[in-house]
């Protein structure tokens, strides 16, 4: 499917679906628990549905409350495996979900027997050698099936021997660290983890809070280099409501800021468990008109002529160095949204510590460089950074900025959901007469089902072509 995006202005309210990160953690912990858990407002995305399909392989029953039309319901019920949890009774196909792969493989290593993990073509390019090394340190056998490859299929022979300390980098992803933490719920002795270079640390805090909510004893040092997890005496079922996904909030947020728009994003998560909420302060430092009402759990976003000053110009001019330096090591999935915002910002933006973005669904540094350059942006790429020299569409007085040169073109999503959504939103901020066509745009269903339909309700005007 191709989506066409052109100049549009947004208005009204939008609610972003539940958090993928929270939904997958809830599903897995409900599987390990004894009893029936209810998960309200789950994200019905491809990754979460892959998880719901995988956990019965280790003993859980899942009712997704499908409608007559085949759509998942608003509350999912998990009858946990509890003491009857077992080795996966088939190959675990994680689809396109790196979270599922990295969470469930350490859990599978606690069982006696062989487990096999694979996935789609994207997953079969993502590294798992760091998982192999960590599991081998715990005494399990772990192998990559293809010679000269560092990716799935992944083969594991458990159980782990007496748990000890795992020493690992933490730079590739935080997800397998969370998986190791979850595996401790099935082990008699504590699991200790030493990270030499921890990244994506807000997600480790999220896992900590989830584990503590089911009774585990979790310690994480202030620098995130030392982690210890001990199982609870009993892991009981629970009822929970999934908060909205900040990674999804980012897209209507930037779309409103680069257009003459005023929108309210409802049901935003103010718990602090999603590191991606830092995008609000990043954008506010550029002069973005964003009001976060934490009592009402809403964001009011005004862009362009709808902003409080009637201009809505994003600029680095008020920053100490007159440059924006944003370190995304804690929330790297924001790279696509931040990069698009930078293209509409007067001044230079340095997006730093993003090496992990090369190992997502795509190499997002390469992809963003290529596609944004195609649209007229000035982008420089390094091993773990991007530099974007952007221009606001307007000058300080609100008149047209002749230096703004972004234009329409057909671009490729590379089947990466965040690339597809960010480039589609970029098209809304172009000048009259320009349009962007995004190829393979349907991939956004991985994390934001019905993204284009929901955005059209508030006026985006996305067209299928």
Q: How far apart are CA 36 and CA 33, in angstroms?
A: 8
For 396-433, b/e burial (b = at least 16 CB within 10 A) is eeeeeeeebebebeebbbbbbbbbbbbbbbbbbbbeee
Residue 77 β-bridge partners: 38, 63
Q: How far apart are CA 133 and CA 76, in angstroms?
A: 35
371-to-224, 376, 384, 464 alpha-carbon distances in Å = 35, 9, 18, 20
> CB burial class (10 A; 0-12, 13-18, 19+) of residue 94?
buried
Residue pair 163/140 in contact by the 8 Å Cβ criterion: no
Give residue 98's region: left, alpha or beta (phi > 0; psi -120 to 50).
Answer: alpha
Active site residues: 333
Give phi and psi for 77, each to the nearest 5.
-115, 130
Looking up tokens 């091993």 gives 383
Report CA 380 to chain centroid distance, whole Å: 24
Residue pair 19/269 in contact by the 8 Å Cβ criterion: yes
160-to-165, 289, 398 alpha-carbon distances in Å = 12, 52, 64
Q: How far apart are CA 94 and CA 51, in angstroms?
A: 7
């Amino acid at each position: 499917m191709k989506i066409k995006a052109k100049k549009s202005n947004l208005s009204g309210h939008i609610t972003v679906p539940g958090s993928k990160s929270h939904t997958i953690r809830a599903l897995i912990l409900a599987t390990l628990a004894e009893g029936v858990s209810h998960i309200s407002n789950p994200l019905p995305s491809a990754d979460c549905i892959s998880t719901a399909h995988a956990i019965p392989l280790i003993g859980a029953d899942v009712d997704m409350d499908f409608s007559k039309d085949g759509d998942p319901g608003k509350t999912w019920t998990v009858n946990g495996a509890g003491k009857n949890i077992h080795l996966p009774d088939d190959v675990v196909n994680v689809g396109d979900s790196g979270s599922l792969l990295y969470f469930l493989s350490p859990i599978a290593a606690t069982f006696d027997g062989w487990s096999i993990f694979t996935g789609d073509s994207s997953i079969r390019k993502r590294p798992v050698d760091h998982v192999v090394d960590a599991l081998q340190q715990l005494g399990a056998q772990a192998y990559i099936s293809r010679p000269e490859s560092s990716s799935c299929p992944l083969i594991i022979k458990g159980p782990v021997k007496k748990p000890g300390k795992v020493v690992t980098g933490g730079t590739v992803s935080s997800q397998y660290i969370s998986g190791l933490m979850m595996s401790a719920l099935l082990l008699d002795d504590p699991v200790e983890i030493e990270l030499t270079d921890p990244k994506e640390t807000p997600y480790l805090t999220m896992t900590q809070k989830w584990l503590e909510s089911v009774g585990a004893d979790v310690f994480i040092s202030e620098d995130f280099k030392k982690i210890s997890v001990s199982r609870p005496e009993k892991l009981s079922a629970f009822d929970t409501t999934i908060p909205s996904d900040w990674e999804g909030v980012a897209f209507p947020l930037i779309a409103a800021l680069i257009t003459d728009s005023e929108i309210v994003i409802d049901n935003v998560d103010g718990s602090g468990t999603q590191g991606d909420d830092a995008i609000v302060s990043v954008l506010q430092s550029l002069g973005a008109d964003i009001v976060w009402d934490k009592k009402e759990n809403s964001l009011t976003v005004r862009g362009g002529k709808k902003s409080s000053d009637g201009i809505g110009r994003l600029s680095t001019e008020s920053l100490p160095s007159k440059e924006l330096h944003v370190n995304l090591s804690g929330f790297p999935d924001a790279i696509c949204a931040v990069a698009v915002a930078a293209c509409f910002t007067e001044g230079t933006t340095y997006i730093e510590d993003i090496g992990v973005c090369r190992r997502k669904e795509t190499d997002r540094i390469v992809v963003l460089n290529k596609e944004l350059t195609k649209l007229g942006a000035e982008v420089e790429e390094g091993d773990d950074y991007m530099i974007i020299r952007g221009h606001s569409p307007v000058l300080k007085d609100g008149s047209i900025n002749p230096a703004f040169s972004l234009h329409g073109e057909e671009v490729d999503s590379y089947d990466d959901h965040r690339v597809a959504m960010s480039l589609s939103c970029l098209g809304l901020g172009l000048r009259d007469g320009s349009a962007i066509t995004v190829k393979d745009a349907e991939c956004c269903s991985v994390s934001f089902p019905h993204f284009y339909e929901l955005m059209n309700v508030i006026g985006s005007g996305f067209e299928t072509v």
